[in-house]
Amino acid sequence: MNWKQAFTSSIGKKLVMSLTGIFLITFLIVHCYINAQIFWMDGGVKFTEAGHFMATNPVIRFVEIGLFVLLFLHIIQGLMLWSQNKSKRNTRYAVSAGNHTSKWYSRSMGLLGTLILLFLCMHLYHFWIPNRYQQTFGSGEIDLFGKMQAVFSNPAVVVVYVLGCIALGYHLVHGFYSAFQTLGLGTHRYKKMIRNIGIAFSIIVPLIFALMPIGFMANLIH
Amino acid sequence: MEHYSMNLTLKVWKQKNKNDKGGFETYQVKGISSEMSFLEMFDVLNEQLIAEGKEPIAFDHDCREGICGMCSMYINGRAHGPWHQTTTCQLHMREYKDGDTIVVEPWRANAFPVIKDLVVDRQSFDRIIQAGGYISVNTGNAVDANALPIEKQKADESFAAAACIGCGACVAACPNASAMLFVSAKVSHLALLPQGDPERKTRATNMIQQMDKEGFGNCTNIGACEAECPKGISLENIARLNREYIGSVFSGSGTGNL
Ligand code: HEM
Ligand code: SF4
Ligand code: FES
């Protein structure tokens, strides 16, 4: 098996999903940690400091390019897996097993991923694009704390953000475990541990994210 | 439980041959005993059809004791019916009540084409085994079985993986029509034993290449296979297959036979 075959076979494709997925998980940890600085209730001083570091540090700037490349790979490979797998059973069953033999979110990774992608487009439009635009062509970074206050004053936007966090949570309940299973770590020794850490991660991280728009809308963050 | 008798409505997939479009036929069966197996109920129905001068329903079966893996039937949305770790021949009619309607379909997967009615062609499994599910042994006198020490735990795990009967329920149940549980069982029972060592670096990659070529889907770790496997083959075998694959890719010779 040459290298190309190694990463394009069925397990190879899964390895791409797994490694990019784990990278996205580490990104989530950093993103969540930085944003959680708003909870100091210091008018966004600590948060702005952290944001400034992320926006100007050359290493971080470089890693951000990698992030987009890997995110793109994850999305393309994920959608390809989804459509390929749909083509392997031309005659469908008249009666299906439903939730008797598997979880709905495990069967719906492509759908959940697409929802996250739609959310992501809106999210980048709210914060990342204006920030980078002004950084490059204008007077430096924007006031992200103020921007959050403005964006999250609209309850409709807050609802969409919370739904995005829920989609992310379900994507991760399956994805976290699946990524390590693909790497071959789902053995007796680690199976329970990975499952439990995965479930905890998929609840805690999206919850912290969801508390940000909710907190701003409810005027609890100042 | 009390023995009882029941009348049932069966909706069974009928298809003349590979190229026929096929469709459901509805049958009524009467006086089915709760003590019968599901296949015996089909025998009764077929006797009845023959007596009426109609064509009986073709279905696969051989051992009727849960070890050959032939009795592929997808019953009311479940591979081999609703019982845990049970083949169709071991499913008994006490699961059903008088007046029930039961829908019976063949395994559905492009890699398992329907030959006739409920009978599917599973030779794709044979070709996957041929691609790597073997070991090299010296000819000559048989070696003393005790000459090769094998850790108890590994022997047990290998034995558990070797319990796979190649029935294809994993493929039938998988939303992706993936054969990973089957392949993982076949790779595992050899990978855990010293006898499996000579082909170790090519087995997983060769079998996976063949699996892909046969048109099975990509595993996404959904787990429906494990839930439906009549032999309790565990997802841990898929983790082991993934490890074996990574091992072949990163430390193998990079050639392979395909
Ligand atoms: C920050 C966002 C995201 C994170 C943290 C994430 C994480 C993960 C992880 C860890 C996996 C499991 C990998 C595996 O099964 O081995 C996964 C699978 C998947 N992801 Fe994402 N993902 C994200 C965004 C997306 C997006 C935007 C899409 C777009 C369509 C997507 C589509 C998929 C699909 C289809 C799978 C299923 C692959 C499978 O079941 O094997 N993901 N994701
Ligand atoms: S792994 Fe289980 S379900 Fe799949 S072929 Fe083997 S015995 Fe049948
Ligand atoms: S007929 Fe052999 S397993 Fe059912």
> Which tens digit of pLDDT belongs to each residue from B186-221?
999 999 999 999 898 899 999 999 999 999 999 999
Domain boundary among B115, B139, B171: B115
Residues of A in contact with B240 (CB under 8 A): 184, 187
Please tell me whether residues B147 and B70 are part of one structural domain: no
From first to last of its 222 residues, chain A has per-residue pLDDT tens of 788 889 999 999 999 999 999 999 999 999 999 999 999 999 999 999 999 999 999 999 999 999 999 999 999 999 999 999 999 999 999 999 999 999 999 999 999 999 999 999 999 999 999 999 999 998 889 999 999 999 999 999 999 999 999 999 999 999 999 999 999 998 888 999 999 999 999 999 999 999 999 999 999 998
State how far the Cα of A162 lies from the Cα of A209, in Å rounded to an integer.
Answer: 8
Longest pairwise C-alpha distance within chain B: 64
Please tell me whether residues B97 and B170 are part of one structural domain: no
SS3 assignment, position A109: helix
Q: A147 lies in a domain?
A: yes
Please tell me whether residues B100 and B188 are part of one structural domain: no
Mean pLDDT over B176-194 rounds to 97
The whole-number pLDDT of residue A122 equals 97
Q: B131 lies in a domain?
A: yes
pLDDT over threshold 70, residue B258: no
Contact check, Cβ <8 Å, B224/A15: no
Nearest CA to ligand 1 atom 34: A78
- What is the B76 CA–ligand 2 centroid distance (Å)? 19
Contact check, Cβ <8 Å, B238/A181: yes
What ranges make up the beta strands (E) of chain B? 5-14, 23-33, 74-75, 78-79, 101-105, 114-116, 119-120
Please tell me whether residues B133 and B111 are part of one structural domain: no
- Residue A76: give the domain boundaries: 8-217
Q: How many domains does chain B have?
A: 2
Q: What CATH number is associated with residue B229? A: 1.10.1060.10
State how far the Cα of B21 lies from the Cα of B55, in Å rounded to an integer.
Answer: 17
- pLDDT tens readout for residues B74-99: 999 999 999 999 999 999 999 999 99
The whole-number pLDDT of residue B253 equals 66
What residues contact residue B245 under an 8 Å CB cut-off, 6+ apart?
A: A11, A184, B204, B205, B208
Q: B257 lies in a domain?
A: no
Residues of B in contact with A6 (CB under 8 A): 205, 249
- Residue B60: give the domain boundaries: 5-115
Contact status, residue A99 vs residue A105, Cβ threshold 8 Å: no
Nearest ligand, CA B169: 2
**B134 touching A (Cβ < 8 Å):** no
Residue B31's nearest CA partner among B19, B48, B17, B18 is B48
Q: Best of B41, B43, B70 to mutate for ligand 3, by most ligand atoms within 8 A of CB?
A: B70
Contact status, residue B209 vs residue B149, Cβ threshold 8 Å: no
Please tell me whether residues B11 and B110 are part of one structural domain: yes
Please tell me whether residues B103 and B128 are part of one structural domain: no
Q: A3 lies in a domain?
A: no
DSSP secondary structure string for all residues of B214-230: TT--------HHHHH-T
Please tell me whether residues B136 and B234 are part of one structural domain: yes
| CB A74 less than 6 A from any atom of ligand 1 | yes
Q: Which residues pair with B125 in a beta bridge?
A: none
pLDDT over threshold 60, residue B118: yes
Please tell me whether residues B147 and B89 are part of one structural domain: no
pLDDT over threshold 70, residue B63: yes
Domain boundary among B80, B115, B150: B115
Contact check, Cβ <8 Å, A102/B222: yes
Distance of CA B10 to the CA centre of its chain: 23
State how far the Cα of A30 lies from the Cα of A25, in Å rounded to an integer.
Answer: 9
Distance of CA A165 to CAs A108, A206, B126, Å?
16, 5, 45
Residue A28's nearest CA partner among A209, A156, A171, A189 is A209
**A99 touching B (Cβ < 8 Å):** no
Contact check, Cβ <8 Å, B236/A191: yes
SS3 assignment, position A98: helix
Distance of CA B76 to CAs A16, A91, B83, Å?
36, 16, 12
Please tell me whether residues B109 and B227 are part of one structural domain: no
Domain boundary among B115, B138, B159: B115
**Mean pLDDT rounded to a whole number for chain B:** 94
To the nearest whole Å, the CA of A89 is away from the closest chain B CA by 5
Mean pLDDT over B157-179 rounds to 97
Q: A2 lies in a domain?
A: no
Residues of B in contact with A181 (CB under 8 A): 221, 235, 238-239, 242
Q: B256 lies in a domain?
A: no
Q: B242 lies in a domain?
A: yes
A158 CB-side CA count, 13 A = 16
What residues contact residue B249 under an 8 Å CB cut-off, 6+ apart?
A: A1, A6, A12, B205
The residue assigned the tokens 């635009």 is A133
A 6-65: CB under 8 A from B? 6, 9-15
Contact status, residue B157 vs residue B96, Cβ threshold 8 Å: no
Cβ-defined contacts of B121-124 (< 8 Å, 24+): B121/B18, B122/B72, B122/B166, B122/B168, B124/B179, B124/B214, B124/B215, B124/B216
Residues of A in contact with B208 (CB under 8 A): 9-11
Nearest ligand, CA A17: 1
| CB A82 less than 6 A from any atom of ligand 1 | yes
Q: What CATH number is associated with residue A194? A: 1.20.1300.10
| CB B169 less than 6 A from any atom of ligand 2 | yes
Q: Best of B112, B233, B234, B238 to mutate for ligand 2, by most ligand atoms within 8 A of CB?
A: B233
Please tell me whether residues B30 and B139 are part of one structural domain: no
Q: B197 lies in a domain?
A: yes
State how far the Cα of B23 lies from the Cα of B83, in Å rounded to an integer.
Answer: 26
Residue B151 burial (CB < 10 Å; 0-12/13-18/19+)?
exposed
More confident residue, B248 or B230: B230
> Would you mind telling me the total number of residues written for chain B in this entry?
258
The whole-number pLDDT of residue B256 equals 52
* Residues A3-35 as b or e (16 or more Cβ within 10 Å = b): eebbbebbbbbbbbbbbbbbbbbebbeeebebb
**B7 touching A (Cβ < 8 Å):** no
Q: What CATH number is associated with residue B102? A: 3.10.20.30
Nearest CA to ligand 3 atom 3: B66
Above pLDDT 90, what percent of chain B? 87
- What is the B39 CA–ligand 3 centroid distance (Å)? 9
- What is the A160 CA–ligand 1 centroid distance (Å)? 20
pLDDT over threshold 80, residue B254: no
B99 CB-side CA count, 13 A = 0
Contact status, residue B257 vs residue A202, Cβ threshold 8 Å: no
Q: How many domains does chain A have?
A: 1
- What is the B58 CA–ligand 3 centroid distance (Å)? 15
